[in-house]
Every structure is written in structure tokens, then in C-alpha cells.
Amino acid sequence: MRCRHLSLTNFRTYGRLELDLPPGVSVLCGNNAQGKSNLLEALYMLATIKSFRTTSERELVSWHAGADERFARVSAEIERQASTSRLDIILVEPASGNAANAAAGARTRAIQKRIRLNQQPRRSLDALGQLNCVLFTPADVELITGSPAQRRRYLDIMLCQVDPHYVRVLSRYQRVLTQRNALLRQLRDRRLPPDQLGYWTEQVVALGSELIVGRGQAVTTLNSSLAAIHPRLVDDRPSLGIVYRSSVTDLPSTLAEEAGAVARTDDVRSAVAAQFAAQLDAQQERERRQGMTVVGPHRDDLAFTVDGMDLNRFGSRGQQRTAALAVKLAEAAVMEQRTGERPVLLLDDVLSELDPQRRLLLQEILAGDGLPAASAPSDGRDSGADRGGQVLLTTTELRPFTPAFLAAATVFQIANGALRPAATT
């Protein structure tokens, strides 16, 4: 899988950009604030329908756009093994009532998002998975050190790109959880009979159990890939492992071992559902006091360990950064295992905070025979024809790269939102 052509209009610093992206490794070199990360943001948005840098989509529309073109467009030609498609995301600011209040209105009017696949309108959920991307930025060390919500979001974003069923279940779970929490608040205020909660509890259990099993399967595959990737980044020192900490079940090890087998998935889901229901029953009084659902996949977490040491509590900053990078490289293998195609790998300023030895090891991984796959694709497809996949790296200087790496890559120089091929010697 790769993005063959990227087109931007009024997106961040880009008024107009038409860019053919080659297969293999592309290095985007330029000073700060020239538009390198904006390119990665555009590709990531095509994959996830959201920005990784802001929750305000108005920030994505260039302030240099004229008053009559307050919109941004991100478009791509996406090449997969069996097809080529075009995906467009258009962000439109509704017209203001008159010129006098245009400036004030721009701050309050909601952005309209329109999505088209092969020129046909689509919902956001239907566009997920058209392009698969894995993104690493220096801020991703927070995957290890940040909040549980950040780690849950990481798993959800990965799975939503490769599993349409998971997308639908997660969306339904979030709606059902919101409704159940609203009812719990009414129960707390004695404005609702207790028997009104039963249906929503059943829905939370059924949907939440599917999410837990899906995440458990993903963690299993991540660990399989990490066993091959992490030692290559740390020069064969003890490898990294991920533990899924569920708030509703004491079956994380069983889940990890058995949920990967399709024949056992229903049994595992039933076991998780039974424990989930028991936990909710035991927590009734606490839930009614707090007015919220206190256990479930929305409260779960991940732990990252090396030799039993929790990196969040005891790891050095360097260990945490390397672990976050290894997890993202392993994520690419998980996506390939699910889809049969290597996702596009986006590495934003990845070398800046690595020591010289880690820089060399990473370049060897990217320039070699590609990342090790987690396992063969489940449907028997062969992804070996493009083992390395498409990789885009940003950097402020070429000095950290080896001559051999640069000779095998396509290097672009970025300045003021414009790209040109760059000399590497």
C-alpha cells in the first residue's frame, strides 16, 4: 500500500501542492516551520479522518485563503495490491452573514467536513481503512508515560484502521455508555426507577466484551512483533512486552493466548462478558453514587515492561523513547498481518532524540528487508513484494543519515511550503 499522489489546497502552510510520492523511503528535509510535519499530518488525516496535532479543524484551513475560498482539501491517490482509489477530505467554513461580522463569525461557525471516495460521498466510518498509516512523533513517548486514555486511544486508532467491525462496535459502545451514564445520574438524583438500567447494562456488557477481546488480540500480535523488533533497536538486550490491564476481567493471559484462535474467540468473549456483568453487579452502589460506569474497556490500560520492569515508573527517558518507537514499528507489522499490505510509515523528526547507535540501528531496519511481519496474513495474501513499504521521514538536516541510506532514499528539500528534489552529496 502507498500514497501515489498527494494533493493539498489551503491546508496549513500549503496554498497548493501536487506531489508524486515514490515507493520506498522519502526523506523530507527542511528548517523548522517550513511544512514538513504538515505533510505527515495530511497523510495521517487521510488514514484516520482526524489530525494528530489539533482537535480544532479550523486550524487546518490556511489563513492565507481568500474570503471566497475558506476551505481546505486533502486528497490522495491510494494504491493497493488490487486497486487504486481516490480519497478526498474537504473542510469548509460556512459563509458568514455579512462582511462586518466575518472575523468574529470565523471563530464560532462550525467546520463542515465532507468525505468522498472515488468522487462519491462517504461517512467518516466508511473512509477509515482506505489508507493505513503508522505515525511516530517525539511526543509519542507519552504512549509510555502519559494517561491510560492515551494508551486506549492508541489501540483504538490502530484497530479502527484495519477492522471495520471494531469501528462499528466502538462507536456503538461509546453511544451506549453515554446513555447509561446519563441514566445513572438520574438514578443518583432519584429521578428514575432502578429497573430502567437493565437494557443499557446488557448492551454495555455485550459491546464492551467485544472491545476487550479485540484489544487482547491486538496486544498478542504486537508482542509477537516486538519480540523481533525491539532487540534490533537495543542491540539484543531484553525485549519489550505489553500487558493489557482490564478493569473487568482477570483473564488477560488467557485472553492473550486464546483469543488469537478464531475457534476460541466466542468462548473467550463469553467468559469476559460473564466477568464484566459480575463486576457491574458488584459496583452498583458505587456507580449510583458517582453517576457513571466505573468499570469497562473505557477504564482499561496498558503496561510496557522490560524484564518485568514497568517503563512508566522505572524506565529512563531514553528507554521510554526507544520503547515507543518499537511499539510503532510493531504496529506496522500488526496492520500488515490484518490486511496483507504494509501501511505507510510516517516518522516525524525521529532521529533528533535518538543516540548515534539507535540512529544507525533504525536506519538498518528501514533500509534493510523491511520490518519483520507479525505473522503471515490471515487470508494467505503475500505481502512480500513490497517488504519495505512506503516510509516518509522528516528532518532538519541530513547529517545523521548514512550515505548508504540516503543513496537508497528519495530526498526532498522543503522551504516555505514548496518541495524540490535535494542533492545528498
String of DSSP letters for 50-95: S-SS-S-GGGGB-TTS-TT--EEEEEEEEE-SS-EEEEEEEEEPPP
The three cell numbers locating residue 395:
528532518
pLDDT digits (tens, 9 = 90+) for 101-147: 454 455 556 789 999 999 999 999 889 999 999 999 999 999 999 99
Considering only residues 336 and 69, tell me which one the structure prediction assigns the higher pLDDT: 336
Does residue 381 surpass a pLDDT of 80? no
- pLDDT, position 42: 97
- What is the predicted pLDDT for the residue at 416? 85
Strands 133-136 and 344-348: parallel
Tell whether the model's pLDDT for residue 395 goes beyond 80: yes
- CB neighbour class for 404 (10 Å; exposed up to 12, middle 13-18, buried from 19): exposed
Calpha distance 398→198 (Å, rounded): 61
Contacts of 105 (CB under 8 A, 6+ apart): 96, 97
Q: Is the pLDDT of residue 69 over 90?
A: no
pLDDT digits (tens, 9 = 90+) for 280-307: 999 999 999 999 999 999 999 999 999 8
Selected residue with higher pLDDT from 381 and 40: 40
Element holding 181 (H helix, E strand): helix 164-188
Distance between CA atoms of 92 and 153, rounded to whole angstroms? 27
Using CB atoms within 10 Å of the CB of residue 51, give its burial: 0 to 12 exposed, 13 to 18 middle, 19+ buried: middle
Q: What is the pLDDT of residues 341-380, one digit of tens each?
A: 999 999 999 998 899 999 999 999 998 755 665 554 444 4
Q: Name the residue among 30, 64, 94, 31 with its Cα closest to residue 412.
A: 30
Strand arrangement of the beta sheet that strand 71-79 belongs to: 14-20, 2-11, 71-79, 84-92, 112-117, 120-122
Amino acid (1-letter code) at residue 61: V
Instruction: Taking residues 305-324, report their average pLDDT.
Output: 93
> In angstroms, rounded to a whole number, what is the distance separating the alpha carbons of residues 1 and 162?
13
Fold of 142-312: Glutathione S-transferase Yfyf (Class Pi); Chain A, domain 2 (1.20.1050)
pLDDT band at 235 (very low <50, low <70, confident <90, very high): confident
Assess whether the region 2-132+341-421 and the region 142-312 belong to the same CATH fold: no
Torsion of CA 82, 409, 135, 365, to 10 degrees: 100
> Whole-prediction pTM value?
0.90
The topology (CATH level 3) of 2-132+341-421 is: Rossmann fold (3.40.50)
Report in angstroms the alpha-carbon separations of 154 from 136, 239, 408, 416: 11, 21, 31, 32
DSSP 236-265: S-PPEEEEEE-SS-S-HHHHHHHTTSHHHH
- What is the residue type of 178? T
Question: Which band of pLDDT confidence, cut at 50, 70 and 90, is reported for residue 382?
Answer: very low
Q: What are the residue boundaries of the structural domains of the chain, listed by start?
A: 2-132+341-421, 142-312
- Cβ burial 317-333 (10 Å sphere, 16+ → b, else e): eebbbbbbbbbbbbbbb
